[in-house]
């Protein structure tokens, strides 16, 4: 995790893909103890982790 930019109103953080699950899983497992904003961030990170995997597979013979 790297802080890319920080100013008075915003913060930009860069995560490595390998670190996303390490951050998200404990937050989701203990969701009752966290504020909504923290959980929103965790769910966005989880979605990004999912999207960075290549789940699409071209069906065979699609252009035949």
CB 36 within 8 A of CB 51: no
Length of the chain (residues): 64
Per-residue pLDDT of the chain (64 residues; tens, 9 = 90+): 889 999 999 989 888 888 888 889 999 999 999 999 999 989 998 888 888 877 777 788 877 7
Question: What's the burial of 15, exposed, middle or buried (CB within 10 Å: 0-12/13-18/19+)?
Answer: middle
This model's pTM is above 0.75: no
Distance, CA of 41 to CA of 3 (rounded, Å): 15
Distance, CA of 13 to CA of 55 (rounded, Å): 25
């Amino acid at each position: 995790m790297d802080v890319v930019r920080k100013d008075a109103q915003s913060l930009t953080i860069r995560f490595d893909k390998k670190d996303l699950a390490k951050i998200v899983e404990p937050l989701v497992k203990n969701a009752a103890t966290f504020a909504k904003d923290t959980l929103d961030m965790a769910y966005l990170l989880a979605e990004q982790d999912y999207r960075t995997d290549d789940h699409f597979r071209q069906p065979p013979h699609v252009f035949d």
